[in-house]
Structure 1
Amino acid sequence: MNKALVALLLGGMLVQTTALASSGEELFKAKACVACHAVDKKLVGPAFHEVAAKYGADGTAHISHSILTGSKDVWGPIPMPANRTVSEEEAKTLAEWIVTLK
């Protein structure tokens, strides 16, 4: 494969990953996730590093579902309520960002 084409493709992937992380982080702050979660420490809910480690890259659908519908008895006795301010697309973006935080 042409070296220029490979560089272009890899550069595009890097830009896409950076944009995804940025919008995921922005949603994290804007959608009140910060009230219960932090990236690197447990607050009311688990640290996102722990969530990423538990579910891995294949866990985005599970995490997205939990954001939209809530969960209980997964990380302890305090349930996570459904986040009604997050759309399905935003939940997916958040979940994709969370799994990058290992």
Structure 2
Amino acid sequence: MKTTLLFTAALTMLASGSAMANADLAKAKNCMSCHSVDNKILGPGFKDVAKKYAGDKTAEAKLVTKVLKGGSGSWGTIPMPANAQVSEAEAKTLVKWVLSLK
């Protein structure tokens, strides 16, 4: 019983650590200057992005491009600037994390 509880706790920590690592990446790449997980700041909350693109099979590719090159019009009049400090691999990681939020 004790071993099962420890194993379950370890798995939970690993899973949440992965999610936390992606939140940390979002902070490190200045995403959180304009976005938050739950609420609109300048750009939409990440959970709103996940909800808008739920079920869209092309969402990941579209959003990776938007992270890297910027864009406008999807969420109002404030444009999202290009993010030269974000690599393509980092953009994919960030977008997968955002789209996984509930």
C-alpha root-mean-square deviation of aligned residues, in Å?
2.1
- Equivalent residues in 2 for 1:78-97 (5 A)? 78-97=78-97
* Aligned pair partner of 2:49 in 48, 51, 63: 51
Aligned mates of 2:67, 2:101 — CA distance in 1 = 17
| Identity fraction in percent | 45
Show the counterpart of 1:60: 60
Gaps of 5+ in 1: 1-11
Q: In structure 1, what residue type is equivalent to 2:83?
A: N
Gaps of 5+ in 2: 1-10
Aligned mates of 2:39, 2:53 — CA distance in 1 = 17
CA shift for structure 1 position 39: 0.4
The alignment's TM-score, normalised by the length of structure 1, stands at: 0.78
Give CA-to-partner distance per residue, 1:18-42, whole Å, 9 cap, x none.
Answer: 5542332111110000100000000
- Count of aligned positions: 90
Give CA-to-partner distance per residue, 1:30-73, whole Å, 9 cap, x none.
Answer: 00001000000000000001100011263222111110010111
The alignment's TM-score, normalised by the length of structure 2, stands at: 0.78
Aligned mates of 1:97, 1:81 — CA distance in 2 = 20
Q: In structure 2, what residue type is equivalent to 1:93?
A: T
